[in-house]
Amino acid sequence: MPAYRFAPLILSALLATGLAGAQTSDNPLLTVSPLPLHYPQFDKLRDEHFAPALDQGMAEQLAEVKAIAENPAAPTFDNTILALEKSGRLLSRTTTLLFNLLGADANPARQQLQTDYAAKLAAQRDAVLLNPRLFARVEAVYAARDKMAPNAEAKRLVERYRRDMVRAGALLNDAQKTRMKAINAELATLTASFNKAVLAEVNDSAVVVDSADELAGLSPAQIAAAADNAKKRGLDGKYAIALLNTTIQPFETDLQNRALRERLHRASVARGARGNAFDTRGTVSRVIALRQERAALLGYATPAAFVLEDETAQSADTVNALLRKLAPAAMASARTEAAELQKLVDSDQAAKGQPSFSLQAWDWSYYADKLRSAKYGFDESQLKPYLEITSVLERGVFFAAQQLYGITFKRRMDLPVYRDDVRVYDVFDTNGKQLAIFIADLYARPSKRGGAWMNSYVSQNPLEGTQPVVANHLNIPKPPAGEPTLLTWDEVNTMFHEFGHALHYMFNQGRYPSLARVPRDFVEYPSQVNEVWADWPSVLANYAKHYQTGAPMPRELLDKVARAKRFNQGYATLSYLSAAIVDQRLHQLKPGQAPTADGIVDFEAQVLKEEGVDFGPVPPRYRLPYFSHIMGGYSAGYYAYIWSEVLDADTVEWLKANGGLKRANGDVLRTKLLSRGGAEDAMVLFRNLVGHEPDIKPLLERRGLVVQKP
C-alpha cells in the first residue's frame, strides 16, 4: 500500500484542495513523468493541477480498494495484500509532490490546498483502513500467513497491513469508527493549521534593526543579507534578522550587542504564544485532547502508549528511564559549563570597566564561542573560510560516500527545479548503473519550513521498476549574490546527517514499498552514523579548503576541531533532553488532563521543574507553541534522536575497530543495515551489524557525560 497511508507526518501535512481548472490534457500529475527516473516535471506543474489529480486519485484508489474488498475469489496474498500494495499510485504520486512542496516552497495556493483537503484525505485513509470487508480479507490472509506468504518479507508485509489496520480502528464497532473518522479529520485540519501558523509566525517575528552599528560582530556578508531581507519587506535602509525554527538563534553567537541578542531571543521564544493570528496554543491543546481520545478508543491509556508500542522502545517506561538517566548528567555538565561562562562574563565586563551580569540564555552562545576560542584556539570565524558549501557537499559528503560505498555523483543541469538554487545530481552505483537522483535544496527561504529533513519524490519500488528520487533540505542562510556560502560546523554536521537519511533510502532493496518504513526511533540511527565522516581526517582534509586560496585547513586547526568535540555538550544535551521530556510528559497525560490553551506554557514550565531540567540559561531546543516535530510525525517520539544516538555511538566504535572509512565496512553497512529498510526487525538489524546488544557507554563518552550510579 502506498506509504502515505501509514506515515503520520505526511498525512498530517499534505492534504489539500479547491483550485478549479487544469484540463487533464495538460496536467503532468495525471501521468507518470517521462523524465529520467520519473523525476517530477516542475517546469510544467501549476498549483491548479493538484485538485483534479487529488480528486481523480482518490476516486481511482477507492475503486481499486472496492474491487479488492469485493473480490469473490478467496483471499490470497496476491489478490489482497499485493493488490493493495499496488493500489493508489496516482493519489500517492500527487500527495507526495504536494507535501514535499509545502515543506520546501509553500505559497498561499498550496497552503489553501492543504487546508481544504486535510479532512478529505483523512477520510480517504479511513475509507481504506476501516473498510470491514477489506479487513476481513486481510485478516484471513494474516491467519494463514505462514502458508500464504511466499517468503519472510511477504509475511512481514501481511503482519504490517493487519497491524496498521487494527491500530487505525478496524476492530472498533460502527459508532466508534464514526467517532474515529471525525477525530482523524479534525486532527488533519488542525495540523495543517499549525504548520501554516508556525511558518507565518517565523516570518512575522523577524527582528528589525535600524542601524548597522547594532550588528557589530556579524560578517559583512551577514549584514548585507540582513539589509536585503529588510528591503524585501519594504524596509529600505533597515536590517531584518530572520528567525529559524529552533529556540536559540544562530546570530546569538556573533552579535556583540547584548540588548539585541536579548531582543532576538525573546522574539524567538514568544513565537506561537503572542495572542496574535499565529498563536498555536489552542491548536496544541486541542490536538493533545484528540490524541488522548483516539488512544482511549483503541484501548491505550495515553497517546504515548499508543505511539511507543510501534517503536523499538515499545513503552513509555523504557523511554522515561533513558531520559531520566541522562538528564541529571546533562544538567550537571551544563551547570559546570555555565560556571565557566560566568567567569568569562565577569572578566570581560571587568576589562571594560563595567558591572557584570548573570549569564542568560541569550548570552550562552556568544560567550561559549569566546570560551571555545580561549580553550582550543579557534572559533567559528576561523573555520568558516574552509567550509564552503559546494566543497562540503561534493568533496566532503559525496567523497565520504564514494570512499565507503563506491558510489559516484555527477551534477546535471538539464532537469527542472522548483527554485533556481536547488541542485540535482545523478547517483551511480558501484557497477556504473544509475542508482538514484539526488536533489540538494540547501538554502533558507520564507516559503520553506524550518529545520532539515529528507524526503523522496519517487520511491524505490520493484513492483513498478522505479528508482529513488531523493531530496535533502536544509535552512542555510543565503548570502548576497556573488558572496560565498560559508558554513558553520553545525551546518556541516547537518549536511552529513541528512545525507545519511538519503543513503538509507537510496540503498533500500526491499521487495515491497510499504516495508521501506522503519520505526521513528531507529530511522535517525543510520543518519547519525553518517555524521562521523564530517571530521574524519581523510574526509575533512579533502573538503576543508580555503574558499579563496584553496589552501587546506591547517593541521593545527584540524586538531583543534577534534579536541573541541566535547565542548558545550552539557548545554546541547540538556537543551535537547528538556524538549524530549516535555514531549513525553505531554503525551503521557491521560484523557481529561490535556492543558488548556492558556495553560500550555505553564505546563511546559512545570514539567521542566519537576524533571529537574529547569535551567534558565539553557532553554528547551523547541517550545511547545512551535514544536513542529510533535505536531507531525514525532509525537511522543522526539526522544528518538538520543535513542538512535545510543545505537549510532556504538556503531561508530564498531567502525573504528574495523578500520573506519573503507569499502569493506561500507559493504557490511549496506548489506546488513541500509538495504534492509523495514523488512526485518530493527534491533535484529543492529545486532546483526555490531554483534551485541546496544551499549550506552560510547554515547556517554562521546558527550562527556558521567551518569551517577544509583
What is the per-residue pLDDT across 110-137, written as a single tens digit (0 to 9) for each? 999 999 999 999 999 999 999 999 999 9
Measure CA 368 to chain center: 27
Residue 450: band (very low, low, confident or very high) from pLDDT cuts 50, 70, 90: confident
Q: Would you state the pLDDT for residue 633?
A: 82
Side-by-side strand order, sheet with 453-458: 408-411, 423-428, 434-443, 469-476, 453-458
Q: Which three cell numbers stand for residue 139?
A: 485478516
Q: Above 50 in pLDDT, residue 3?
A: no
587 with 603: CB under 8 angstroms? no
pLDDT score of 18? 35
Lowest mean pLDDT among 6-10, 420-424, 444-448: 6-10
Does residue 22 register a pLDDT over 50? Answer: no
The Cα-based distances of 654 to 49, 234, 355, 681 in angstroms read: 50, 55, 51, 20
Share of the chain above pLDDT 90, in %: 86
The mean of the pLDDT values for the chain is 93
The whole-angstrom separation of Cα 252 and Cα 362 is 6
Structure confidence at residue 517 (pLDDT): 87
Q: Is the dihedral of CA 588, 589, 591, 595 positive or negative?
A: negative
- pLDDT tens for 170-201 read 999 999 999 999 999 999 999 999 999 999 99
pLDDT single digits (tens) 359-386: 999 999 999 999 998 888 877 788 899 9
pLDDT at 8 over 50: no
Say yes or no to pLDDT of 439 above 90: yes
Assign 556 a pLDDT band (cuts: 50, 70, 90): confident
Distances (CA, A) of 16 to 192, 196, 377: 9, 13, 52
pTM over 0.95: no
Q: Is the pLDDT of residue 7 over 50?
A: no
Report DSSP letters for 111-153, one per residue.
HHHHHHHHHHHHHHHHHHHT-HHHHHHHHHHHHTHHHH-SSHH
SS3 content of the chain, % helix, strand, coil (to 5): 60, 5, 35
Q: CA dist 84 to 182, 481, 510, 552, Å?
A: 24, 50, 17, 54
Q: Are 364 and 619 in contact (CB under 8 A)?
A: no
Quick one: pLDDT band at residue 492, thresholds 50, 70, 90?
very high
| The pLDDT of residue 705 | 84
Q: Are 474 and 491 in contact (CB under 8 A)?
A: yes
259 or 702, greater pLDDT: 259
Q: What is the pLDDT of residue 381?
A: 82
335 phi, psi to nearest 5 deg: -65, -40
Count the neighbouring beta carbons within 10 Å of the beta carbon of residue 602: 11
Is the pLDDT at 17 greater than 60, yes or no? no
pLDDT at residue number 25: 67
Average pLDDT over residues 553-575: 88
pLDDT at 12: 34
Catalytic residue among 498, 531, 611, 680: 498
Phi and psi based region of residue 519 (left: phi greater than 0; alpha: psi -120 to 50; beta: remaining): beta
**For the segment 384-413, what is each residue's pLDDT rounded down to a tens digit?**
999 999 999 999 999 999 999 999 999 999
DSSP structure class, residue 477 = P
Once rounded to an integer, what is the mean pLDDT over residues 494-503?
Answer: 97
Range in 2-6, 66-70, 116-120, 273-277 the model is least confident about: 2-6
What length does the chain have? 710
Q: What is the DSSP letter of 277?
A: T
C-alpha 248/C-alpha 361 separation (Å) is 8
Predicted confidence at residue 21, as pLDDT, reads 40
Give yes or no for residue 256 having a pLDDT over 80: yes
pLDDT in tens, 297-340: 999 999 999 999 999 999 999 999 999 999 999 999 999 999 99
- Residue 85 annotated as catalytic: no
pLDDT, position 672: 96
The average pLDDT across 149-162 equals: 96
Per-residue pLDDT, 239: 96
How would you write 6-33 as a 3-class SS string?
HCHHHHHHCCCCCCCCCCHHHCHHHCCC
Look at residue 10 in the predicted model and tell me its pLDDT: 33
427 φ/ψ angles, rounded to the nearest 5 degrees: -120, 125
Q: How confident is the model at residue 589 (pLDDT cuts 50, 70, 90)?
A: very high
Q: What is the structure's pLDDT at 9? A: 32
Measured between alpha carbons, how far is 115 from 328 in angstroms, rounded to an integer? 43
Sign of torsion over alpha carbons 441, 443, 445, 450: positive
Instruction: List residues bridging with 427 in a β-sheet.
Output: 409, 436
- For 12, 58, 288, 295, 558, the CA distances from 117, given in Å and listed in that order, are 11, 11, 22, 24, 51
Tell me the one-letter amino acid at 120.
Answer: K
Q: Is 246 helix (H, G, I), strand (E, B) or coil?
A: coil
pLDDT in the model for residue 6: 33
Are 301 and 590 within 8 A, CB to CB?
yes
Q: What is the DSSP letter of 206?
A: P
